[in-house]
Amino acid sequence: MKRITILALMPLLVLGQACTDTKENNKTEVQAIFPKGELGPAENFTGNAWNTRLVANDSTYNTVIGNVYFEPGARSNWHIHPAGQILIITSGVGFHQIKGKPKQTIRKGDVIKCPPNVEHWHGASPDTGLYQLYIIPNTEKGIVQWLKPVTSEEYNK
């Protein structure tokens, strides 16, 4: 009898779990300022990084602006911006590292300037995702040069 009751309740337990998950997802999407966008290519990112281009490059502004959502643990490869980049963190927790310097923790409200021609990477922390706005000025000098992936050893150091 007891066994039958448990079996009868199983679908409800599963359903309950599914409802909680949906609620969490909705909360995340409601909090997001911009659309999730498109998944960044695996050759330039480790894990899932979603990109929405907000301002396309043109000859009047020579500036690219966009939003990236890094899922927990996701990060860019090492890369260089020939004219530099400004990051504005709008939600979550993550890391930014310039080659040869210690990894820096970045959070909602932080503004980070990546100097021109400096090798660096950015991404989410292992447990919390990161929402970042990126601004790339002076695009006539170039936008980005992709380099090697950030290894687990580099990421965890």
Residue 104, CA distances (Å) to 40, 107, 110, 116, 154 in order: 23, 10, 11, 18, 12
Residue among 27 and 99 whose Cβ is closer to Mn ion: 99
How far apart CA 29 and CA 66 sit, in angstroms, is 17
Q: How far is the CB of 133 from Mn ion (least distance, A)?
A: 12
How far apart CA 20 and CA 147 sit, in angstroms, is 40
Q: How far is the CB of 22 from Mn ion (least distance, A)?
A: 34
Q: How far is the CB of 81 from Mn ion (least distance, A)?
A: 6
125 makes contact with Mn ion (CB under 5 A): no
Q: Which stretch binds Mn ion (CB under 5 A): 21-29, 50-58, 66-74, 79-87?
A: 79-87
97 makes contact with Mn ion (CB under 5 A): no
Binding residues for Mn ion, rule: CB under 5 A, are: 85
